[in-house]
Amino acid sequence: MEKEMIIVLDFGGQYNQLIARRVRECNVYAEVHPYTLTLDQIKAMNPKGIIFTGGPNSVYGEDSPKCSTEIFNLGIPILGICYGSQLIAHLLGGKVETAPVSEYGHTEVEVDGSDVIFEGVSSPTVCWMSHTDYISQVPEGFRTTAHTPVCPTAAMSCPERKIYATQFHPEVMHTQEGTKMLSNFVYKVCGCKGDWKMDSFVESTIQSLREKIGDGKVLCALSGGVDSSVAAVLLSKAVGKQLTCVFVDHGLLRKNEGDEVEAVFGPNGPYELNFIRVNAQQRYYDKLKGVTEPEQKRKIIGEEFIRVFEEEAKKIGAVDYLVQGTIYPDVIESGLGKSAVIKSHHNVGGLPDVVDFKEIVEPLRLLFKDEVRKAGRELGIPEYLVNRQPFPGPGLGIRIIGEVTEEKVKIVQEADYIYREEIAKAGLDKGLGQYFAALTNMRSVGVMGDFRTYDYAIALRAVNTSDFMTADAAQIPWEVLAKVTNRIVNEVKGVNRVMYDCTGKPPATIEFE
Ligand code: XMP
């Protein structure tokens, strides 16, 4: 059965991933592609609809990203959002100008409920606006379907050609009825039936893994995190004993983590994964000696993972496939798409050029985190494992700013352990997206007892996020921070100062490197 799909055509806006996620939440599969996709490529994918994203440019700028006007003649329904809406207006003969008043943030929008996009949506409805240009004249054949006091065309449509556009962002949570609007587009305009469900994903992935792997041998890189655990269990269901899971303790794990992972996935746990633990701590410390540049650290850690897997594969003999728990945001953030390289995630951009496996298999490559969790539940993985906060592949290596040493690893492990313990005691653990301690490379003067100290500063971070693409610094109660600070400076040797990171993403990232 061919699955229904919506193409999200990326014009460089910051919410592009979010559009795909929201569409998928409506049980319709969506993929993000660069706006440079050719008409033939689009036709070959046979999409049920196309969504133009927002973007930072002005449509009348010379270098602004544009697609061919032929796209409107394909007969495929189109929804333009923000820049995408202006682009539709511009390409089809309407007028886009700098707005006399820019709109940013929560805005009350009056909608015309007879337009299919706004069916079942209240009027006024609160939407998220972020624009300095606006459509001052809609193209011929279009009518305005929503407005605000300062934006005469907050939405427009031409139902005859199945073209729709909103100046606001239906994909962000602040647009209170945005999901309804996207659902109206995919179901009522594109005629989707909603065949993207996790039970069918799990079933069809197991089937296709079996077909691909046949009676070959597979090695799965298991870190104990949500993604690789789900990938391992998926593979185990698909190929049973042909699978070996290798867990590398690179000496950059959280306190006790190596033993905890072994307890769950090792021979005494509930899964049959042919679990092998490789203690490679010293090897990593040696490779990382003297290295301070974050991307170089990431690449070294990524390469070393692969080398360990290759060695283990040789011991097993005739292993063709390496399985990794790479997920969609890893792929996008590693710059394999069009967007800038922010960081090389160790299991994607951090791969060395030559890898001694016939193929790398990434069964979760197209899933967002919440979808991976759903797949995990489908596979019967317990809730406490499925809901664990993410821990990056390069581990504490990217939470120690500058050179990594064994001594620094110990410091950050202890501080992080205390922080996690107190967060859990305060009952905050389930509500936070991610929280951890990092070691700043800064040392400063302090006084303890009657002595001068010159020790490291620990940074505490906690963020609220639903997708890890954007995040807000969490407002941890002061009493909790004070308690954690007090315990860290008293219990962790080498630390005399604790700081809390108040920065969101953007402009910071969640991890420090
Ligand atoms: P950033 O720091 O880019 O992190 O805001 C976003 C999310 O990704 C995690 N992260 C990684 N996960 N390998 C991973 O498996 C990596 O190299 C990596 N780098 C960052 C990070 O913990 C956060 O959840």
Is residue 82 annotated as a catalytic residue, yes or no? yes
Is residue 90 annotated as a catalytic residue, yes or no? no
d(CA 126, CA 136): 22
Query: How many whole angstroms from 93 Cα to the centroid of ligand 1?
Result: 43
CA nearest ligand 1 atom 6, residue? 468
Per-chain mean pLDDT for the chain: 93
Q: Which residue matches tokens 């860290």?
A: 488
Label residue 338 by pLDDT band (50, 70, 90): very low
User: What's the per-residue H, E or C state across 157-217?
Assistant: EEHHHCEEEECCCCCCCCCCCHHHHHHHHHHHHCCCCCCCCHHHHHHHHHHHHHHHHCCCE
d(CA 299, CA 304): 8
| Mean pLDDT value of segment 68-94 | 98
pLDDT tens for 210-269 read 999 999 999 999 999 999 999 999 999 999 999 999 999 999 999 999 999 999 999 998
**Is the Cβ–Cβ distance between 231 and 273 less than 8 Å?**
no
**Ligand 1 atom closest to Cα of residue 509:** 5
**Ligand 1 atom closest to Cα of residue 223:** 15
Tell whether the model's pLDDT for residue 458 goes beyond 50.
yes
Question: Hey, which of 298, 511, 512 would you mutate to test ligand 1's pocket, going by the most ligand atoms within 8 Å of its Cβ?
Answer: 511
47 lines ligand 1 (CB under 6 A): no
CA 182 vs CA 124, 171, 429: distances in Å: 17, 8, 32
Label residue 348 by pLDDT band (50, 70, 90): low
pLDDT tens for 361-418 read 999 998 988 899 999 999 999 998 899 999 998 999 999 999 999 999 999 999 999 9
Query: How many whole angstroms from 511 Cα to the centroid of ligand 1?
Result: 6
φ and ψ of 17, to 5 deg: -65, -35
d(CA 280, CA 108): 57
**Annotated catalytic residue: which of 4, 26, 33, 82?**
82
pTM, rounded to two decimals: 0.81
Q: Which residue matches tokens 């664990």?
A: 388
